[in-house]
Structure 1
Amino acid sequence: MSPRFPPSGRRAWVSAAAGAALVLAAGLVVSLWPGGSYPAMKAGCDRSELFVAGGTDVSLKNQRRALIRQWNEGRYPGGRPHPHATLVEVSESTDLQHSQIKAVEESGGCAYDVLIMDNTWTAQFADSGYLRPLDGIENLDDFFPAALRTGKRDGELYAVPFNVDVGLLYYREGVTPPTVWPGLLSSDVATQLADYEGLTVNALEAVWNDGGSGRLTGENRPSEDDLRTRVYPALARLAARAHGSLAASRQYEELESIEAFASGTKLMRNWPYAFSALASEPRMRDGTRLRFGVTALPGHTVLGGQNLAVSKNSPNPDAAADLVAYLSGTNSQRLLFACGGFAPGRYSALGLSPGHGSPAGVKVRTCSSLTGQPLGPGETDVPDEAQLTQLGHAVLTALGRAEPRPVTPHYTTFTSTFRGCVQKIFDGAGTDAASFARAVERSLDGRTASC
């Protein structure tokens, strides 16, 4: 029997007070640290060890962990060894990551040095004083501009891209992918409509591609009239699909949709990392030939991804900034893409010059050619150069259509309110356009609201 993708745990929204969340964070961190002892959680902060806090490493071959190991084996110019770093995988859930990291930072604790953050957190964490401004990161013009902007707040740079996420369309062998949004939603497609951040992402993409372009993106604040007349109708039309062609997707997060696609669904909307996950799945390969392809999602897509930042309370801010520069550098980004399946944040990682992002110019190398590790008997590079080039082409095309989610220090309030309203629209629970507009408008200011 072919191995199946493990189902992911249900993402639970944490609304506990900061003190309770800090206890939970400490407990989970201790459970991840070998021997049940986590030095950074002790009262004293006199340490040279660096701790990198982020989500579960879902990259192929755990490439994030591999980058940390390479840092630990490296040296500064002159021969001085790098300070040892440890990756603390706080949680698989973005919601839990946010709650636990926020609780530690809010307490003033020195638990973390480098933060791997969802790119929607910058406004809140910068405004709250949790982050140090980043100085000395080289070649900023090499980062994709839209991705770099997600790390800025009021003109100050607080974070740089670690990996970029954009919506991609995967299609099975022999299937012609739709090139327009209505054709996608009427097809046999697996997407993510379960109650977690993926629902917000998919709902926003539906809004932007069905009459609500420019609404609920970036710092543009939609009026209640816009929410009522442009956003709500698009979601009502998505709800009709959620009872038809998208019915199964109401139970799907990323991994469940990958499993559905591998099991026979013709199309799938997912992030770039799904490409390498599928390429390693026996059901999706015939030797080195892949039984699927990938292209940019039709129309606008959400600009997702993770950024790297230095905690304000780091006992070793200079070393932490050095580690951020290392992890976001071209060589690390190339390895993260070719070996881990995560889309990079730099032009150079795809063989391009800064500002010259034509998909036709993508030039990439395979994982084994980058690492210099010979392949074993019978082993081949999958994805190979041509397959990685197809992925890079799709990512760059999608980046040209990508839009950020709302930029607000109250993003967690917005997303929980928004997706709660979307669920009620899906369920036909009596939420009207006016109630929806009032609730979402309030949530962008951090005011508690519900549909």
Structure 2
Amino acid sequence: MRVLPSGRRARVSAVAGAALVLAAWLVVVLRPDASYPALKAGCDRGELFVAGGTDVSLKNQRRALIQQWNKGHRPHATLVEVADSTDLQHSQIKAVEESKGCAYDVLIMDNTWTAQFADAGYLRPLDGVEDLDDFFPVALRTGRWKGKQYAVPFNVDVGLLYYREGVTPPTTWQGLLTSDVATQLAGYEGLTVNALEAVWNDGGGGVLTGEGRPSGKELRAKVYPALVRLASRLRGRLGLSRQYKEPESIEAFAADAALMRNWPYAFSALASEPRMRDGARLRFGVTALPGRTVLGGQNLAVSKYSPRPDAAARLVGFLSGAQSQRLLFACGGFVPGRYSALGLSPGHRSPADVRAPACPSRSGEAGPPDEAQLTGFGRAVVTALGRVRPRPVTPHYSTFSDTFRGCVQKIFNGEGTDAASFARAVERSLDGRPASC
């Protein structure tokens, strides 16, 4: 089965400081195999470098898009896959931008980074990107900061519910939490995401989302109790999920779990897994999560320190364009950021209107998923997009996420964290002040 590699998942503590982050980054990046040529190139160079995480799209469709660019455009581009985990990607790319290094031209960023990177002056505003009204508005907004568009969607992520053949998926959040569901509760960004979804679906629907700042009362009365209730349900598969990131939850589902909460990329991974197929038929289904879900995804931005900013902006336009987005979805299994890539148009944007494009065949290879399966998948995604909420929009998101999930882990462990301590720690983190429960 095709899942994320398990190695290189070390995290760099935010309190270690920029020097230690950069040192760790250099250890990871400056490897003998010279697979990171951007660091050897001077600022006066003719090639573009695109920095992002490991390409988990089916058949490495991100790399294929870069190759398409290279066939018809100059300067050529190289995709630099800096790390597997979102946390480590953030540390490494941030370290380069903090040092004002010219190693990267285009950044593939988690959509929570925009506020931090734009506020720090690491990004150039984007001008001239075509058909902005074709992007899903909720995803496009994640690329804005203080009235300027600094990034555009590359792919969108929403929480989806996967269910095995013969299993009826629950239609309520409480029904989900009492089922045999595999999710992601290990100590990384996935825990933040899952905990936020639990809060929003258990009494805290308008808290810790977007630019609004929660009050201490809301954190004590809505957020903390929802997390305590989630902790009380950590039995069976949900309890085992404390060991799971995305790949482990995919494996648990492919093995025997009845249900799985995961991102859209898992659809193509499972559709290519022999245990999940019976000939052309898939032995699983996918639907929107019951209730609210986190808006995830990656955005494209141009580094302030790129020596070729105009060319980098053209590359962003190519990668976020309608044709590239269609291929990313049909061939790569990633959800596009544009309506048109799902066959939608103004006035026809309901889930029932989705018409998935077919992936052009490669050397006569058919391979799953097919057009009808992708259309069903796309409809689940569009339904989920109607229920999404953004994570907190703040230049201090990484501090918040580290603090929040550390507090969640203490609640899960029954370590005596009370509502007042929790509220104080989260409030401090939203101001960029490291804290703990």
Q: Specify the alignment match of 1:38 in structure 2.
A: 37
What does 1:293-442 align with in structure 2 at a 5 Å threshold? 293-354=285-346, 356-368=348-360, 373-376=362-365, 380-442=366-428
Whether contact under 8 Å (2:163, 2:258) holds in the other structure is yes
Whether contact under 8 Å (2:173, 2:201) holds in the other structure is yes
Structure 2 letter corresponding to 1:406: P
Q: What is the CA–CA distance in structure 1 between the aligned matches of 2:97 and 2:319, rounded to whole Å? A: 22
Identify the range of structure 1 (13-22 vs 408-417) with the bigger mean alpha-carbon deviation: 13-22
Q: Secondary structure at the match of 1:388?
A: helix
Q: Specify the alignment match of 1:185 in structure 2.
A: 177
Answer yes or no: is 1:13 the counterpart of 2:11. yes
Structure 1 39/266 Cα, relative in aligned 2: closer, same or farther at 3 Å?
closer
Q: What is the CA–CA distance in structure 1 between the aligned matches of 2:56 and 2:236, rounded to whole Å? A: 31
Structure 2 letter corresponding to 1:153: W
Q: Which of residues 103, 106, 124 is equivalent to 2:116? A: 124
What does 1:24-423 align with in structure 2 at a 5 Å threshold? 24-31=24-31, 35=34, 38-42=37-41, 44-75=42-73, 82-354=74-346, 356-368=348-360, 373-376=362-365, 380-423=366-409
Q: Which of residues 419, 430, 434 is equivalent to 1:444? A: 430
Residue 422 of structure 1 deviates from its aligned partner by: 0.2
Q: Secondary structure at the match of 2:52?
A: strand
Q: What is the CA–CA distance in structure 2 between the aligned matches of 1:17 and 1:122, rounded to whole Å? A: 21
Structure 2 letter corresponding to 1:393: R
Whether contact under 8 Å (1:64, 1:336) holds in the other structure is yes
Q: Secondary structure at the match of 2:257?
A: coil
Q: Secondary structure at the match of 2:238?
A: coil
Q: What is the CA–CA distance in structure 1 between the aligned matches of 2:123 and 2:49, rounded to whole Å? A: 15
Whether contact under 8 Å (1:8, 1:256) holds in the other structure is no
Q: What is the CA–CA distance in structure 2 between the aligned matches of 1:363 and 1:6, rounded to whole Å? A: 28
Residue 269 of structure 1 deviates from its aligned partner by: 0.2
Q: What is the CA–CA distance in structure 1 between the aligned matches of 2:122 and 2:175, rounded to whole Å? A: 44
Q: Specify the alignment match of 1:78 in structure 2.
A: none
Q: What is the CA–CA distance in structure 2 between the aligned matches of 1:301 and 1:278, rounded to whole Å? A: 21
Structure 1: tracts of 5 or more residues without a match: 76-81
Whether contact under 8 Å (1:347, 1:355) holds in the other structure is no
Q: What is the CA–CA distance in structure 2 between the aligned matches of 1:4 and 1:85, rounded to whole Å? A: 26
Whether contact under 8 Å (1:40, 1:51) holds in the other structure is no
Structure 2 letter corresponding to 1:442: R
Whether contact under 8 Å (2:2, 2:269) holds in the other structure is no
Whether contact under 8 Å (1:206, 1:238) holds in the other structure is yes
Residue 381 of structure 1 deviates from its aligned partner by: 3.4
Q: What is the CA–CA distance in structure 2 between the aligned matches of 1:128 and 1:199, rounded to whole Å? A: 26
Whether contact under 8 Å (2:3, 2:56) holds in the other structure is no
Structure 1 124/5 Cα, relative in aligned 2: closer, same or farther at 3 Å?
closer
Q: Secondary structure at the match of 1:115?
A: strand
Task: Supply the RMSD in Å over aligned alpha carbons.
Answer: 1.6
Whether contact under 8 Å (1:11, 1:196) holds in the other structure is no
Residue 374 of structure 1 deviates from its aligned partner by: 4.4
Whether contact under 8 Å (1:367, 1:381) holds in the other structure is no
Structure 2 letter corresponding to 1:64: R
Whether contact under 8 Å (1:141, 1:354) holds in the other structure is no
Whether contact under 8 Å (1:366, 1:383) holds in the other structure is no
Q: What is the CA–CA distance in structure 2 between the aligned matches of 1:348 and 1:224, rounded to whole Å? A: 42
Structure 1 moving runs of 4+ over 6 Å: none
Structure 1 letter corresponding to 2:23: V
TM-score between the two structures when normalised by the length of structure 2: 0.96
Q: What is the CA–CA distance in structure 2 between the aligned matches of 1:321 and 1:226, rounded to whole Å? A: 42
Structure 2 letter corresponding to 1:23: A
Superimposed CA distance per residue, residues 171-222 of structure 1 (whole angstroms, 9 cap, x where no aligned partner):
0001110111100000000000000000000000000000001100001111
Structure 2: tracts of 5 or more residues without a match: none
Q: Specify the alignment match of 1:79 in structure 2.
A: none
Q: What is the CA–CA distance in structure 2 between the aligned matches of 1:355 and 1:48, rounded to whole Å? A: 44
Q: What is the CA–CA distance in structure 1 between the aligned matches of 2:401 and 2:3, rounded to whole Å? A: 27
TM-score between the two structures when normalised by the length of structure 1: 0.94
Superimposed CA distance per residue, residues 369-393 of structure 1 (whole angstroms, 9 cap, x where no aligned partner):
xxx53424xxx33101110001100
Q: What is the CA–CA distance in structure 2 between the aligned matches of 1:39 and 1:62, rounded to whole Å? A: 20
Whether contact under 8 Å (2:102, 2:307) holds in the other structure is yes
Identify the range of structure 1 (347-356 vs 150-159) with the bigger mean alpha-carbon deviation: 347-356
